[in-house]
Amino acid sequence: MTYSRIKHFQIKLIPIGLVSMLIFNNCASTDQSISPTIDLGQWMEKYSVCRGKGTLISSGPVRGRLYFDYTCLGEDVFIHFKDVLGRKTMMMIMRPNSVEAWDIMQNIRFSTESIFLRFPFFEVLKPIDLVSIFWGIEPINLLKVDTNNSMTESEIDIRFSSDGSGLQAVYIIMDNEKQSIEMTFDERDFGSAYPHLIKQIPESTPHAQL
């Protein structure tokens, strides 16, 4: 298994509202990556669809665990989260230039803009990078840095872990919040989908306040 630190950025953080939203409504860690030399477009053309399961773990001031199922349909990624009791808590739809979320328990819809405001690592990790991650490919547009660099109080550190068969884990560390997120992919099947996950957020769902 190999590990790589992909980003080590200094950015101004805001309160981690979306993490709270995920965890407190009863909201990942490991790592595996297909060689970054693989072109995402060619990979999607070869398989068309991909599905998988995983775990999202948050440590720090906001702590919790969520389980997720997902389906990649080309560049669209549909993710459904469940809490430890098996209750559906959150649905997310990711596309190359957007990400939307539906807090099912509170019946609130979060637009791309509101998510970016609540989740500061989107300043570094773009939606297209997340599409690549769910396909099991380490994003190639993130600069690699010296893993021995020390963190300062205003940094976000993003790391990937791989065993050579596909990206298995992503670690996001928000140091000045003393908060970390670990997303582990436990299963990934290329050429298969979970059709029941491919749905849109109801248009009648009220939007969250910015």
Residue ranges of domains in the chain, CATH in brackets: 2-186 (2.50.20)
Closest CA to 51 of 31, 22, 79: 79
Note the pLDDT tens digit of each residue in 44-87: 989 999 999 999 999 888 789 999 999 999 999 999 999 999 99
Q: What is the 3-state secondary structure (H, E, C) of 34-46?
A: ECCCCCHHHHHHH
Note the pLDDT tens digit of each residue in 85-103: 999 999 999 999 999 999 9
pTM given for the model: 0.78
- Mention every residue, 6+ apart, whose C-beta is less than 8 A from residue 103: 21, 25, 89, 90, 109, 110, 208
The pLDDT value given to residue 105: 93
The pLDDT value given to residue 186: 93
Note the pLDDT tens digit of each residue in 8-33: 444 333 333 444 444 434 433 333 33
Give CA angle at 93 (87, 94), nearest 5°.
135
